Structure 1
Amino acid sequence: MIRNISISAFINTIFILALIAISLTFAIFIKLDKQRFNISMQKKYELVAENLLKTLDTTPSKSGIKLILDQFRMSRIDDDVFILQILNEANPVLMRQSSHGMYRIFSFEDNLYTYVQRDGYNLMIQDSQNYSYNLLIISLAIALSLGTIFSLYYILKRKLKPLRDLNNEIKKFSEGNLNVKIKSCSSDEIGTIAKTFDEALTHINNQTKSKELFMRNMMHELKTPITKAMFIAETLDDEKKRETLQRAFKRMDDIIKELAMVEKLTSNNTLVYKELTSFFKIYKRTVEIALLSPDKISAKINDFKLNADTAMFSVALKNLIDNAIKFSPNKHALIKANKHRVDIISEGEKLKHDLEYYTEPFSQEEKRSDGFGLGLYIVKTIANLHGYKLIYTHNEDKNIFSILID
């Protein structure tokens, strides 16, 4: 589970757990510290009350009582209404009776009060200090801890920002955008990776442009002499030589067309011009470009509408039909089509390898001299561009290549 979590999510989780741990720690500390403070205050109040009871035995003056209270940092409460409220509403914490008198300790609104009584004389006192001083110190400690945590979090997230940017650019590159640029001003490991990847992108772009330029120039230069050669071959009187040359030049022309299609499909500028059309229209276009005679193909088509690039999809069907006819013993193919799938069926032995082997460029059976190994690669690429899927099955001595539409 941890292996599948992203670095950003992992860091967020760690810091959230750290914040929870710090919050719980300080909450427990505040609770325990307040209990400790109350216990220490209670002992102090007991000590003050005992001393006051002994002192009251000598009936000291108000200044004498004040002197004792100042010594213990206590203050006297003279508000009779507030004293009565404490006696009626406060929670009693402790009550002690001694030979000198009685004193009680009350807890009221998070403060402790001591009520001293002796021979009709009573005195309500409280500590001049309170727990807010401790809370202020603890609050500063909490703020300092949280500030440190958030500062570390901010610094770490900023440190990882180039990695996120690099990941986004790599995603764009994987989607076919070769014009991405990765800039990094840091000299750490992430900066080094970004710089290396940018250099690799530049190298790949240069190679791609060189390949595209070579392919286009090569196809252009070959197309003209092949056309001239085919025209010259037509003038030969020897029928056998004429047919042999025409087949050879036709094969070369087909290879150039296949290479042109591959170059188009793998180009960054490939656009699929989808339109709502009928499958029968695509099939009719396929028959036209394949120059098929009626005895070579049978069709069982339930016509339907689909969003497709008519020109591209026709090329895909043509390649499947060409392969079916070329490599079947009876040189015949059957096409079945409905709104869910298109099947190209022909007699023949099962393929020796999985479909993935034949959909790689320049892949073909070892003993086959015909074909350039690009047909199924083109079919799969066109299917993928449309969001369709190419599959292969073999049933009852028949090879079935299917394009799944939905």
Structure 2
Amino acid sequence: MAQSIFLRITLFFLVTFTAMGIGFYTLHEKLTQDQEHRLEIEAGNLLLVLRKSVPLAPPLRRSYLQVQGYSVAEPHPDLLKTLQNALKTTPKNYPEEIKDSLKEGRIQILKDTNHLYVYLPKATPPLLVIKTDAAQQSLWPEILFITLMVALLLLYWLIIKTLFPLKRLINAITHYGKDGSYTPINSLQKDEIALVANALDSAMHKNQTLIEARSLFIRNIMHELKTPITVGKLSLPFLKNTEEKSILERAFFRMEHLIAELVRVEQITSGALAPNLKSCDPKLLLEKAKGLLFLKDNVIETVLDGTLIYADCDVFVTVFKNLIDNAIKYSSDGKVRIVQMGEHLFFYNKGEPWPRECTLDSLSEPFFHHHENPHSFGLGLYIVKSILESHNFSFFYRYVQGEHCFELVCRNSLATLD
């Protein structure tokens, strides 16, 4: 989850929102301090003008204040209720008598959203002097903050909307991996993700076409193979009970078994059929493989400890058959040695080492053939590797003391269920 691109983008925007909020909060505090300082100066100036107007009669005082740019109004209780203190603390630079008057409540410095007021409740009559628009505060920080927040949220939504097909893409690929069904994305967008989704749609369509063609090819091949076998079996009753008839009967039986085995192997390696896992005795698997290869006992040396393996026994015969066949075919003495150590099975055969460019992975490719190397295995290792992968088994190779060694590690998560 920590590697999710959606989570990273969300975290990036959250950090951006937080940093922007902190920045604008700091800016707001700075502007508030500047506003309070400005109000201190304006209130101080107003108080100085009021001190000069003290000797004047009330009508002349009003005129004098208006000439100085101030308004005078009656301190109506409803108006006073709407006002609040303009200063949080008494400025230190104010004269002492003004500080005392502010402390005793004979002077009150008030404000609303726009204007600055100096209220003299003890004057005769009580006086309310107004400095118009002195308390008005600029709204551009709030407007800018809201604008940027909306822009960032819109950008976040657009990015997530652009990346949203990734989830559909992941779900489609996940479903295909689980059950082989793929739901096309069919994106109408023109961005890179849409191009990837549409390219995947096209590739999956071609892949499905190839799978269907492969399945049809396999069915046709099996049909063509079964036809002569069926004809041969029908002709057997007309033969005399001779040794040749017995040989043909066994050959036809083994050919039918091989065809059925190939069908099952094809289904398992293609993912169309899950292995039928159960306990298997490697000794019995070896005997079946020897029978299919028409081998004599003297070509195989075995050291088996009797440990059972958990696999599809019918299919695993093919693994033994192919590894034994390859080992004998490409050995220098025509023999193979099979050793079991618990869940580990080793197939040894003597021979020259492979060329440097040949590896287990390259030789496990279907239809691989190294023209300059007599140790090429065609489809044998590909089938072996595919069956082992379907069982979640491991497959290794090494060359030790003049011998090729193929190692099977027959351990999977289901082994404890038996």
Shorter-normalised TM-score: what interval?
0.7 to 0.9
Tell me the residue number matched to 2:82.
none
Q: Give the 3-state SS of the residue equivalent to 1:403 in structure 2.
A: strand
Tell me the residue number matched to 1:111.
none
Tell me the residue number matched to 1:126.
110
- Could you state the TM-score of these two structures normalised by the residue count of structure 1? 0.73
- Could you state the TM-score of these two structures normalised by the residue count of structure 2? 0.71
CA contact (8 A) 2:310 2:410 kept: no
Tell me the residue number matched to 2:185.
183
Please point out which of 115, 130, 144 is paired with 2:102: 115
CA contact (8 A) 2:175 2:181 kept: no
| 1:329 pairs with 2:332 | yes
Any residues of structure 2 matched to 1:2-401 within 5 Å, and which? 8=6, 11-58=9-56, 60=58, 71=70, 91-97=89-95, 102-104=97-99, 115=102, 122-129=106-113, 134=137, 138-139=141-142, 141-173=144-176, 175=177, 178-184=180-186, 186-189=188-191, 190-191=193-194, 193-226=196-229, 228=231, 260=263, 263-275=266-278, 277=279, 281-291=281-291, 292-352=295-355, 353-364=358-369, 366=371, 373-401=378-406
Structure-2 separation of matches of 1:317 and 1:73:
109
Structure-1 separation of matches of 2:72 and 2:405:
99
List alignment gaps of at least 5 residues for structure 2: 78-84, 116-134, 412-418
Structure-2 separation of matches of 1:155 and 1:56:
66
CA RMSD for the aligned pairs? 4.6
Structure-1 separation of matches of 2:56 and 2:348:
121
Q: How far does residue 379 in structure 1 lie from its aligned partner after superposition?
A: 1.1
Opposite residue 382 of structure 1, the aligned amino acid is I
CA contact (8 A) 1:319 1:375 kept: yes
Opposite residue 111 of structure 2, the aligned amino acid is D
CA contact (8 A) 1:49 1:116 kept: no
Structure-1 separation of matches of 2:385 and 2:366:
11
Structure-2 separation of matches of 1:379 and 1:343:
14
Structure-1 separation of matches of 2:406 and 2:174:
32
CA deviations over 1:286-339 (Å, ceiling 9, x no partner): 312432433222222233344322222232122212222232233322222223
1:403/1:372 CA distance change after superposition, 3 Å = closer
1:203/1:10 CA distance change after superposition, 3 Å = same
Bigger strand share: 1
Q: How far does residue 135 in structure 1 lie from its aligned partner after superposition?
A: 9.0
Structure-2 separation of matches of 1:364 and 1:231:
39
Structure-2 separation of matches of 1:17 and 1:127:
37
Alignment: residue pair count: 372
Aligned-pair identity (%) = 24
1:95/1:369 CA distance change after superposition, 3 Å = closer
Q: Give the 3-state SS of the residue equivalent to 1:94 in structure 2.
A: coil
1:191/1:396 CA distance change after superposition, 3 Å = closer
Q: How far does residue 375 in structure 1 lie from its aligned partner after superposition?
A: 1.4
Structure-2 separation of matches of 1:169 and 1:205:
14
CA deviations over 1:155-198 (Å, ceiling 9, x no partner): 3212322243124324544x375431213352434545544532
Structure-2 separation of matches of 1:73 and 1:182:
77
Tell me the residue number matched to 1:81.
none
Q: How far does residue 256 in structure 1 lie from its aligned partner after superposition?
A: 5.6
1:76/1:45 CA distance change after superposition, 3 Å = farther
